[in-house]
Structure 1
Amino acid sequence: MTVQERQVVFDLLRSIPAPGSMSIPELRAMFDQAGATTKLPEDVVLEEVTIGALRAEWSSTPHADPTSTLLYLHGGGYTFGSLASHRGLVTNLGSLAGVRTLALDYRLAPEHKFPSPVEDAVAGYRHLLDQGFAPQRIAVGGDSAGGGLAIALMIALRDAGLPVPGAALCIAPWVDMMLEGDSMLTKAELDPLVSRHELTRMMGEYIAEKDRTDPRASPLLGDLAGLPPVMIQVSSHEVLLDDAHRIAGRLAAADVAVRLQVWPRMPHVWHLYADILSEGRAALEQAAGFLRERIR
């Protein structure tokens, strides 16, 4: 990584309107447009499918193990994000790991409140089981809200008596709806994309105050025993840093194998900028290595 690469990305993020100044439809359109510019693997094959009423998208490359798959849950504060916004991240991660991917277009707030995304994630996972995938050959993953949702999904699966997946990948996961991490304040000036104010706004669209301690919304507060190995990647310069540290500590305390990587001076979910940021590509490669270890 060069200082110039990082500066280009931070300048780009600071040049766009602050998320708090945009409506949710505007946020959705902007992130979809940004995602459309990301390069996909040249040999990737995409297939859109439906799971009940949900849209989802398979990706695969010729070298992918057909018996291993990653169920991916995009970020976006439960209010925006889509198959389009994260297609580059998901397909490149799957290609590097040599696994198929299934990206899920789960329902979003304010049209669909909590616990709709958790229910949709469970439906996506059940679909993989119904398709004959062995649980130990499935990984679940996500970034930001999607990273928290991946952990909430595993809690829901365990509590329902369903087999948990073989591994989980969480990129800068949002796991605490109480927003109590110190980094919400100490990293506020360093994070050009996420703020406590904006997370509070998204919570207001997504979930009633009385439900914010539900482990399906705040998995940091849940029982994490019996979950599979988890890899967490987070930046030192983002407000969700303490969410990552705290969930890693709670996973370890529950005897869950956890691998926490803190990458210095990166923007939130820097993997999205892998085309222009070498650390984005490097983070994808390390995440892919973890997936190969665990589900191939």
Structure 2
Amino acid sequence: MSSFKSHTPVSLTIAEKLGWTLAVADAIRATIQKSITASIYSPSTLPPKPVQVNAAVIRSMFGRTNTRQAQAKMAPSVDTYMAWFKLKPQLGSSYEPAVEDICVDGVETRLLWIGKPWKKTDSANKKVLLYCHGGGFILPLNSGHCSFARVIREEIEKYGQECSVAILEYSLGPEKQFPVPLHQGVLALNHLLAAGCSPSNIAMGGDSAGGHLTLSILSHIMHPHPSVPPVLPLSSPLAAAILVSPWVTFDQSAPAFAKFGREDYVTPHLLRYWGEEAIGLEAPAAELAAGRYHAEPKRAPESWWQGMDRAVKFVGTTVGGREVFLDDVLEWEKSFRAGSGVRAELYVGPIELHDGPLFDFGSGRPPSELSLKAAQLTWEGFKSKL
């Protein structure tokens, strides 16, 4: 395995260590406060109590810390992946950790496999989900992403369909900013194509920033970004793109931000900060001025998506009914559906917050309807070839 890592944890200053300690203390306060209030008042229209508590903790922690502090406390993606395999649910599984390093012209990335890696000797019908994890492009993979990927794989295999998930380990901001993750995602897709995996057997997917990256790759197929190598020629469209609460714009003016901003764990302040760390202050305007919408798919005109049916056969999107991205995702999905000609399906989880599937595993609850719907949408994309 190469020395490549999603990020290099830094040594915190004394002030940053103190700040982290105070943030942890406030997170404990938020846990107690939300546990009490959710016990007193928690109607069926709100998320379950464990989700409300987790959201309050995340909102508290990330509202009081910076990227350096978060990355110093979080292991690189590959290390989290290896540790996840040692947890009880994975012990005795039919597959082992498998890491594939990719390096092209000095640009490195990595695939972290859940299920057996694709090989040229595999069945011509084996499916692969190339998964891009969320985290605002500044947080690495967490164990919840791995568990969610495992659930998708297991749900698909219930239909008798062999499937493996390849999680993309990409570089994080601010050390590496857009379009570096797009470049790495393209290298990963090209790696699968060059290995002989048919496009019709490949689905791409991601949550939050990972959904953004998935859309960036689709845009790149039809509108190559000048800073990124092209995707290898597709002999057929990709099977599917699965988007969970995709981050489709850096703007925070949609009504859902005001309506759910005190409930969801993603706040306008946090999104502004993560956006600046992930892409920089001037890049969004520069991309739009150049007529490119890889970084902000919601701002793309319908014409941008024309011909997308040559790149992907099916796009499935899920979004929380109580999350700040709700309005933006609905508006983007409507525009995409009208302009692309791609078969699409949208599911709104009525009481879910942003990136609901991660709360299933972070809150210790079984897979929710939204998580299972994401797996079903993946299967919908795959089965259209069968």
| Superposition TM-score tier, normalisation by shorter sequence | 0.7 to 0.9
Q: Deviations over 1:133-192 (max 9, x none)?
A: 11111110000011111111111022347435221100000011233432122221221x
In structure 2, the residue matched to 1:264 is: 350
The one of 138, 155, 161 aligned to 1:96: 155
**Aligned residue type for 1:289:** Q
Matches within 5 A, 1:203-242: 203-212=275-284, 213=288, 214-222=292-300, 223-227=304-308, 228=312, 229-242=314-327
CA distance in 2, matches of 1:287, 1:121: 21
Higher relative contact order, chain-length normalized (CA < 8 Å, sep 6+): 1
Structure 2 contact 356–371 (Cα < 8 Å) conserved: no
CA contact (8 A) 2:206 2:244 kept: yes
**How large is the Cα RMSD of the aligned pairs?**
2.9
2:175 corresponds to? 111
**Residues of 2 paired with 1:27 and 1:178: CA distance?**
23
Give me the whole-angstrom Cα distance separating, in 1, the residues matched to 2:68 and 2:274: 13
C-alpha distance in 2 between matches for 1:108 and 1:142:
16
Q: CA offsets, 1:247-268, max 9 Å, x none?
A: 2111111122221111112222
Q: What CA distance in whole angstroms lies between the structure 2 residues aligned with 1:232 and 1:90?
A: 16
Number of the residue aligned with 1:11: 53
Count of matched residue positions in the alignment of Structure 1 and Structure 2? 292
Separation of aligned partners in 2, 1:146 and 1:41 = 27
Aligned to 2:109: 54
Q: 1:210/1:22 Cα in 2 relative to 1: closer, same or farther (>3 Å)? A: closer
Structure 1 91/26 Cα, relative in aligned 2: closer, same or farther at 3 Å? farther
Aligned to 2:271: 199
Between Structure 1 and Structure 2, whose CA radius of gyration is higher?
A: 2
Distance 1:11 1:112 in 2: 32
Structure 1 alignment gaps of length 5 or more: none
Q: Return the alpha-carbon distance in structure 2 between the equivalents of residues 289 and 38 of structure 1.
A: 25
> What pairs with 1:1-296 in structure 2 (closer than 5 Å)?
6-16=48-58, 17-28=60-71, 29=73, 36=84, 39-40=89-90, 43=93, 45=95, 46-52=97-103, 53-60=108-115, 67-82=126-141, 84=143, 86-98=145-157, 99-160=163-224, 162-163=233-234, 164-191=237-264, 193-212=265-284, 213=288, 214-222=292-300, 223-227=304-308, 228=312, 229-254=314-339, 255-275=341-361, 276-278=364-366, 280-296=367-383
Q: Distance in 2 between matches of 1:96 and 1:44?
A: 15
Structure 2 residue runs of 5 or longer lacking an equivalent are 1-42, 117-121, 158-162, 225-230
Q: Distance in 2 between matches of 1:120 and 1:152?
A: 11
Whether contact under 8 Å (1:77, 1:144) holds in the other structure is: yes
